[in-house]
Chain A
Amino acid sequence: MSTRIEIEGLHRMLAGQMVLDNIDLVVQPGELAALLGPSGSGKTTLLRMIAGLDRPDRGAVRFDGEDVLARPARERGVGFVFQHYALFRHMTVARNIGFGLAVRKVPRGRIEEKVSALLKLVQLEFLGGRYPAQLSGGQRQRVALARALAIEPRVLLLDEPFGALDAVVRRDLRRWLRRLHREMHITTVFVTHDQEEAFELADRVVVMNGGRIRQSGAPMQLYRRPVDPFVCRFLGEANEIPCRIENGFVIADAGFLLGRAEMGTGGGIAYVRPHQIALRPNEAGDWRVAELTAGGAMSRVGVARDGLSLEASLASERALALGLQAGMGVEVEIAGGMVMGDAADAPVTLLPAPHRDRPLLTERKIEKDEKEEPSFSEEKEAKRLLSVIRTYDSSRDFERRDKNR
């Protein structure tokens, strides 16, 4: 019942500038997809082309296999919600919602029925007689949505639907829209520049930049496995640490071990999100807390060692429990991340380095290995790994640490 949107090879030049460059995209029936990107990335142009408000130079847009480019916007059956709602200011809320039916010459009784059902759906039962100017931003947004839904559109398109609202209203509306979509199951595409919004709402996030689709996938997949530095940076803050991959180890250029990698060799940059950095107070640690910003739920901690500073974030409760304070010594453990660059063709996952609390193999086992001849090559390998760790990262000197305790 829901419509499938297929976009193929969409191109658009405007004033010598490539606005859309060979866009291929399929939105599955009933899917809720987000076009995410900075301003000027072409996301709104793409949305307008699906609606028929803009024309591509070449390419195809199909609804359920049927080419709709030849059809004018008024015949495409799309519900479009504009960024600033574009409500008809001289009409009441009820007439706004009924507009699409009125121009189709639907009998008045039918229109009234439908309008009151939609008013109920968007929880504005008692505001049908008001004018748009008399409504709050969130209410206008819902009227715009009801108006778009009135024509029973094949696809629903929303341009920056929450951009003009304040934070609390935005969050409520987002959840409400998510519920609504789950109930109606209409194929929906919305444009946003807010990654949090995209992640919370969408089944699929399409990251755009410079008129191209950089990556498209489930929110978690994008977040965990960005295909390039742009996507990685756009989806959230990341520490960028120059490094190289050697013998399965990721070593920061500043001279310490970041973690392991299962492939690649050579230089690159490790992208580590603030929450992927764990801190442990230890006066003998190589890192110092340079800065501590206690926000609401999350605290940000700037840590530094010679020539390198990183930003970590952790739950404020946890920061309090650890007793973190500016100037104190800490150990830093990188729990994850991505390495991109010359080291490998595709981004490589950064795995945590072996650690005493979560060792690759237990130390006891290694001690045992030292007495007896290692019988497994695996154990031999483990020993080699540990020696490498000791060379590259003095902070992994377990004995010294234990004495300090």
Chain B
Amino acid sequence: MAADAAAALAAGPMGARLRAPVRTRGARRVLIFVAFAFVTVFLVLPLGVIFAEAFSLGARAYVAALADPDVRAALWLTAGIALAAVPLNTVFGLIASWCLARFRFRGRGAIVTLTELPLSISPVVAGLLLVLLFGRGGLLGAFLEAHGIHIIFAVPGMALATIFVTVPYVARELIPLVEAQGSEEEEAAITLGASGWQTFFRVSLPKLRWGLLYGVLLCNARAIGEFGAVSVVSGAVPGQTNTLPLEIQALYDGYRVQGAFAAASLLAGLAIVTLLLKAALEWRHRDELSAARRARAE
């Protein structure tokens, strides 16, 4: 305190004015350094390692690793599962947000809470739930076996697990948005003579488009990257029931480190693209998003 006062006196009237900024400037530098250091150590370095390892045996080996039939099969399976999970959850998100925002009914709160359940439940538990439900000794196991339907340790189970885990992403984005926007625009469209479909495609959907795209992006990223839930219900047969994350694990366990990292670089690349798209979307439609966030916070 005394030293501060002395410094202020010594510096004269100018010093008195500058004192506070000078002190915060020091703190600012330290904080900025800490932030950068943290991001570097925990995010940039690992990402760098992925690409460094992937290319450690040269570009040719990298291409060869990706050309591996099992890796390619895993890539297709991952894409296929995402293609099932994302549209389904998008449609669910639209329907849920629509009816939650428009109607007040018993159990409304339950739906809102339940859509968020997959976020708080461990993915492994989610996988186990499916096993308990559809597995050999499970609730529906006997019925499924009698009809020769294989869900657990097969692709359908993996798709179900992914769908379960990605339920919240679109719905969570849309519910507050729809609620904040109200239904006056739809009513206006109807009085102007629009049919239900015309209203949906020309008014409801476009006014949600950015929020929807944002939700789809997040949902997609999670669908592609999901490991825990999928690994529980996967048969772990390379070339058949391995998604990209599972294949990476298999490669790594088989001491094919470079191959594992090459495959991982695909996921990392997808993550970076998602991130860039997300940033672009957030920038493009920041007003709408912030309105939705406010609505959710309330």
Name A's B-contacting residues (CB within 8 A).
51-53, 72-76, 78-80, 82, 84, 86-91, 99-100, 103-104, 147-148, 150-151
Contact = CB atoms under 8 A, between A and B. Distances in A.
B185 interface: yes
Contacts of B185: 86-89
B198 interface: yes
Contacts of B206: 88, 90-91
Nearest to A157: B191
A20 to B, nearest CB: 19
Greatest chain B CB density within 10 A among A53, A76, A78, A86 is at A86
A90 B209 contact: yes
Taking residues whose C-beta sits less than 8 angstroms from the other chain, chain B's interface range is: 10 to 19
Interface residues of B: mostly helix, strand, loop or mixed? helix
B187 interface: yes
A147 B184 contact: no
Contacts of A52: 191
Contacts of B195: 74, 103
Contacts of A91: 206
Nearest to B188: A86
A53 B188 CA distance: 10
A298 B55 CA distance: 86
Contact of B194 (A74, A84, A90): A74
B154 interface: no
Contacts of B191: 51-53, 73-74, 76, 78-80, 148
Given A74-B195, A90-B207, A103-B198, A84 B190 contact: no
A147 to B, nearest CB: 7
A99 B189 contact: yes
Interface of B: 184-185, 187-195, 198, 202-203, 206-207, 209
A257 B206 CA distance: 69
A79 B193 CA distance: 10
Given A103-B193, A103-B195, A103-B198, A89 B188 contact: no
Contacts of A89: 185, 207
A243 to B, nearest CB: 49
B184 A84 contact: yes
B192 A86 contact: no
B98 to A, nearest CB: 17
A372 to B, nearest CB: 77
A151 B188 contact: no
A151 B188 CA distance: 12
B192 A147 contact: yes
Contacts of A103: 189, 192-195, 198, 202
Contacts of B202: 88, 99, 103
A99 B190 contact: no
B192 A151 contact: yes
B77 to A, nearest CB: 37
Q: Which of A72, A80, A84 has the most CB atoms of chain B within a 10 A radius of its CB? A: A80
11 contacts: A53-B191, A72-B190, A73-B190, A74-B190, A74-B191, A74-B193, A86-B184, A88-B202, A88-B206, A99-B192, A100-B192
B283 to A, nearest CB: 16
A82 to B, nearest CB: 5
Contacts of B194: 74, 99-100, 103
Contacts of B190: 53, 72-74
B193 A82 contact: no
Given A74-B191, A86-B188, 15 more contacts: A73-B187, A73-B190, A73-B191, A82-B187, A82-B188, A86-B187, A88-B202, A88-B206, A88-B207, A89-B185, A89-B207, A90-B206, A103-B192, A103-B194, A148-B191
Contacts of B198: 103
Contacts of A79: 191
A90 B195 CA distance: 19
A150 B191 CA distance: 12
A88 B203 contact: yes
